[in-house]
Amino acid sequence: QKEVEQNSGPLSVPEGAIASLNCTYSDRVSQSFFWYRQYSGKSPELIMSIYSNGDKEDGRFTAQLNKASQYVSLLIRDSQPSDSATYLCAVGDYKLSFGAGTTVTVRA
Amino acid sequence: SAVISQKPSRDICQRGTSLTIQCQVDSQVTMMFWYRQQPGQSLTLIATANQGSEATYESGFVIDKFPISRPNLTFSTLTVSNMSPEDSSIYLCSVEDREGNSYNEQFFGPGTRLTVL
């Protein structure tokens, strides 16, 4: 499977701050990139998908993709305690490879 | 997105036995996937299950250990055979659900938490 690496955590941010998550991948062929959120004891939930270079915004979430640098990131603006979870980066065109995840804790 | 259910939600099994996990989707989907998430780890793809063809297994996973059925477009099963404590994991099925400009998006079932004693 393709290698997917995420910045090591855990990441602790105060409520209202921006949480920044990074992911690099090895496979230059992949065209599909995803961010999943996983609460403790729950299954992963898709929160963002991105396919082309640049930024994609959805509410408080912004995904950024740079295929030349093989880099994808996720920004969480105005972080809330409910954002406390593990965030998984996934790469692949139908067969997904996942990173190890970054655990985010938002301090009230 | 599709609604996915799995049975059982959890089980505790003895080593040497087998467990079959069911995955049911509320709509017809072409591609279904089975993943494993070992304690404290990320997800690893076990196999891709397409209706009407043999499942395709990833490196490190074999059909004798993880036989998969895909009898129709809404259902699949994964069997964990001859279990050992190393098989203790969460097993997740996912489906690819295409809507609008999105593609290759996968949505996960709630998972089956397996403990092997």
Query: Does the structure show a pLDDT above 80 at A97?
Result: yes
Name the percent of chain B lying above pLDDT 90. Answer: 82
B20 touches chain A (CB under 8 A): no
User: Average per-residue pLDDT in chain B?
Assistant: 94
End-to-end CA distance of chain A: 38
Confidence band of A43 (pLDDT split at 50, 70, 90)? very high
Residue B105: which of A31, A46, A98 has the nearest Cβ? Answer: A46
Taking only the tens place, the pLDDT of each residue in A55-95 is 999 999 999 999 999 999 999 999 999 999 999 999 998 88
**Residue in B47, B45, B70 with CA at minimum distance from that of residue B57:** B47
Q: Rounded to whole angstroms, how far apart are CA atoms A5 and B84? A: 29
Mean pLDDT of all residues in B88-117: 90
Query: What is the model's pLDDT at position A66?
Result: 97
Contacts of B42 in chain A (CB under 8 A): 88, 98-101
Query: What is the model's pLDDT at position A71?
Result: 96
Query: What is the model's pLDDT at position B102?
Result: 73
Q: Rounded to whole angstroms, how far apart are CA atoms B37 and B112? A: 10
Q: CA of B84, closest CA in chain A: separation in Å?
A: 22
**DSSP letter, residue A53:** S
Confidence band of B67 (pLDDT split at 50, 70, 90)? very high
* Helices within chain A (DSSP H only): none
Q: CA of A92, closest CA in chain B: separation in Å?
A: 8
In contact, B106 and A49? CB cutoff 8 Å? no
Query: Does the structure show a pLDDT above 80 at B1?
Result: no
Query: Does the structure show a pLDDT above 70 at B113?
Result: yes
Residue B1 tokens read as 């997105």
Query: Does the structure show a pLDDT above 90 at B9?
Result: yes
B13 touches chain A (CB under 8 A): no
Confidence band of B52 (pLDDT split at 50, 70, 90)? confident
Q: CA of A99, closest CA in chain B: separation in Å?
A: 7
B68 touches chain A (CB under 8 A): no
Residue A23 tokens read as 């992911």
Q: Rounded to whole angstroms, how far apart are CA atoms B28 and B35? A: 20
